[in-house]
Amino acid sequence: MTTMLYQGHGSYRFTLDDGTVIYVDPFAGDGYDLPADLILVTHEHFDHTQVRKMPHAAGCEIIRAADLHPTPYVYHTLLSHGVQVTGVQACNRNHPIDECVGMIIEMDGFVFYASGDTSMTEDMRSGRLALLPIDYAAFCGDGVYNMDIDEASECARMVGARHNIPVHLVPVSNPFSKKVFSREIAERFQAPGRIILEPGQTLELEHA
């Protein structure tokens, strides 16, 4: 069983069939009790980089934006703990394209797209992401530091994942912010196979 725990804001955790634990953009909420085998950081803002919130298993690896996107026109694919991670475009006026990535995460036979902090990108507009067999996608939509929820809905339709999850729905300006989710904004997200997760909820990923 492959599960996703939504911790809040842009933070979530995957637990794979073999017990491998992956954290994405750790910052918000609870659920940092399991030792990390792999930590993914889409960019270096404080609300995505709290990599010491959880214990680290022996051999834990951290993959950051710079590892996947070392130069302006180069995006890499890396393999860690049987998980394949590919960098794709993520950018807007608050997030320079040379400092941020989205991530295509391939694990347990699933393809998951983590948008990171972004607005609409050329990878979305061109149909490049739509060519990928994406099972689940998480899109930001706070409307201040990132695209708003209407643009996120449009991006989700462009990408064409089977299921789409709204995340990062509240602008966070300091490390002590307590509000990390908005049900109202989540309900405005209109995309195929929409799944709304509230902080602390777990989703069992399902194959088509």
In this predicted model, what pLDDT tens digit does every residue of 67-110 receive, in sequence order? 999 998 999 999 999 999 999 999 999 999 999 999 999 999 99
| Residue 61, pLDDT above cutoff 90 | yes
- List domains and CATH numbers for the chain: 3-195 (3.60.15.10)
Strand order in the sheet with 83-88: 77-80, 83-88, 102-107, 110-114, 136-140, 163-167
pLDDT, tens digit (0-9, with 9 covering 90-100), for 160-193: 999 999 999 999 998 888 899 999 999 999 999 9
Rounded distance, CA 208 to CA 204, Å? Answer: 13
Which CA distances in Å does 193 have to 21, 40, 85, 159? 25, 25, 23, 12
pLDDT of 138 strictly over 90:
yes
- Tell me, yes or no, if the pTM score tops 0.75: yes
Mean pLDDT of 7-36: 98
Predicted local confidence at residue 177, as pLDDT? 86
* Band of pLDDT at residue 129, cut at 50, 70 and 90: very high
Give the model confidence (pLDDT) of 140-164 as tens digits. Answer: 999 999 999 999 999 999 999 999 9
- pLDDT value at position 42? 98
CA atoms 36, 38, 205, 188: torsion sign: positive
